[in-house]
Amino acid sequence: MTSKLLNVALHVDENMAFGVSRDENIPTPGDGELLIETRFSGANPADIKHATHLGIYPTRLGYDFFGKVLEAPPGSSFKVGDNVAGYTPTGVGRPAKYGTHQSYLVCPENMAYSVPENLPPDHAACLTVVAMTAADALYNLFKFPLPGDSTSSSSGSTPRPLLIWGASTSVGICAVQFAKASGVFPILVSASPGRHALLSELGATHCFDYKSPSVIEDIQIVLQNYQFDGVPYAFDAVGSLSGLGSAQMVASCSSKDAILVSVVVQKDPRFVMPLATTNEDVTLKIANIPHPIVIPARKEDHQRAWSALQWAVEHYGSRFRLVSVEVFQGRAKDALEELKVLADKGRGFGKLALMHPLV
Ligand X SMILES: NC(=O)c1ccc[n+]([C@@H]2O[C@H](COP(=O)([O-])OP(=O)(O)OC[C@H]3O[C@@H](n4cnc5c(N)ncnc54)[C@H](OP(=O)(O)O)[C@@H]3O)[C@@H](O)[C@H]2O)c1
Site residues for ligand X per CB under 6 A: 44-45, 129-130, 133, 166, 168-171, 190-192, 195, 210, 238-240, 242, 246, 263-264, 273-276, 346, 348-349
d(CA 245, CA 103) in angstroms, rounded, equals 38
DSSP-derived secondary structure for 280-296: S-EEE--TT-SS-EEE-
Residues forming a β-bridge with 231 = 254
CB of 50 to ligand X, least distance (A): 10
In this complex, which beta carbon is closest to ligand X, that of residue 242 or of residue 288?
Answer: 242
CB of 243 to ligand X, least distance (A): 7
CB of 265 to ligand X, least distance (A): 9
In this complex, which beta carbon is closest to ligand X, that of residue 115 or of residue 352?
Answer: 352
CB of 169 to ligand X, least distance (A): 3
In this complex, which beta carbon is closest to ligand X, that of residue 37 or of residue 209?
Answer: 209
In this complex, which beta carbon is closest to ligand X, that of residue 78 or of residue 271?
Answer: 271
147 to 92, 101, 188, 206, 275: CA distances (angstroms): 34, 32, 19, 21, 20
CB of 167 to ligand X, least distance (A): 7
CB burial string 74-110: b at 16+ within 10 A, e below: eebebeeebbbbbbbbbbbebebbbbbbbbbbbbbbe
d(CA 353, CA 240) in angstroms, rounded, equals 23
In this complex, which beta carbon is closest to ligand X, that of residue 177 or of residue 190?
Answer: 190
d(CA 56, CA 286) in angstroms, rounded, equals 10
